[in-house]
A and B are shown apart, each in its own frame.
Chain A
Amino acid sequence: MAGLCVASGALVAVDGGTATLKPLRGALTSGVSPLYYVAESPYLLGGRMDRLFSTHAGLRADVERLETELVELRRTAGRYRGLVAENDRLRALLGSTESLPEGVLVAEIIAILPNPARHEVVIDKGLGDSVSTGQAVVDSGGLFGQVVQSAASTSRVLLISDTTHAVPVHVNRSNLRSIAAGTGSFDRLMLESVPIASDIVPGDLLVSSGLGGRFPFGHPVGIVQSVVRDPGDDFARVEAMPSAALDRSRHVLVVREGDA
């Protein structure tokens, strides 16, 4: 028993501090992924049942709503393409490089880790779909998290709201740079080290700044909810609401920089 405890202690220390055991962990994860599917089956089945019993009128309404949304999005996308082209021309004029094109891969969340103190989910794409550690994950609202480990056909994604996670951001309006740290609650991020006299107000949009090289530039991260300036403090207390639906999204996109 003592031997097993010592072995466990050593393993935990090695696994917690280094990446030596990553291959073993990856192989084991591939082995247990069917369990995730079984555990998730009530929800997957629920979705199937909903689709099975949907009415004609309901489907028509859905299609109409989606078509309106599509027209709206096409218009935005058209404008966006124009802006990207213009931006690239201006960057060329200034002599800086063009921004890298991004490719995305749609993934479905197949499990949520059971420990409520940790915000991690498992998605159904892995090494086989060239998903690798460090890639950013977004949903339709904004930045969702990053891949922290990938196995053959599944990957674990750390959410931006986890207490151990932080993402470099800047305020879209004033270009103020900061770091948005997770708080362990799905609807709150805290901005770190914002000087008390900074130009930041509730309602400001935070986007990923691309500094640090992990997250691509320009994905919405959150909206500033409150700014508390205590004259006795050096830093303001800034809280933001994540743009992504961290506890509701079912489908997410894995962002792969460099392949469009």
Chain B
Amino acid sequence: MLIDINTWIGAWPFRHLEEATVSGLLKRMDRKGIDRAIVAHTGAALYRDPHPANVDLARQIGKHTDRLLPVATLLPQNPGWQEDLRRCHQDLGFVGLRLYPQYHEYRLTDEPALDLIDAAHDCGFVIQVPQRVEDRRTRHPWDVARDLSGGEIIEALRARPKVKWMLLNALGLAAEDLPKEANFLVDISRMTAVLQRNMQRLLDVAGNDKLAFGTGMVFKVADPALLKLEVLDRGKRVREAIAWRNAAKMLGLKVR
């Protein structure tokens, strides 16, 4: 069983993404043996009003809710996010939010952002935060979004330790600095099981319940994340926890 907590569909204005559709994502998952995935719409990261992208994502997923778990993007500074959140929760089948403070010019600990996070948490949502979308060395000159700093992420975890955080595309978070009381998962897409061994560092310091499988598809290829699981020098229980159990637990999924 594999649950990928870090996937996208949709066009990205700065780089061509091949078959960045629900069917394209499902094909990739089939090829790599990935059972389920949390998915967001790239348009939601850049639209002034992201909600139409949320609606489009739900429409594209259609009957594939057995495999794809959609996350929405809302802007804390936009009017009416409360109603959009209600629709995402009650009408559209979303399981969480993916927030991009670096593209929408706020900080996670700003009061309006915390209001949105609290309201989403009350809906039972997970809160996903990508530290970055693309590597800054490859960015289009108009893509000036910053990488979120470890300090900003940790500050948010401290401010809302009960929120179900999923930190995506993250690297450089010092395991010792992550608040022990916080409820978080870090996806493995930028971490390593060999050489630097920062997966092992996080397991040893923060616990076996803090890592989750994530690929970064359709921006990135899935094979590196699969290799990390394969070569990780930990027992079956730990590898299973990373592969799916930790994500399933946070999402409240019943998995056989």
A joins B in a complex = no
B residues engaging A (CB < 8 A)?
Answer: none
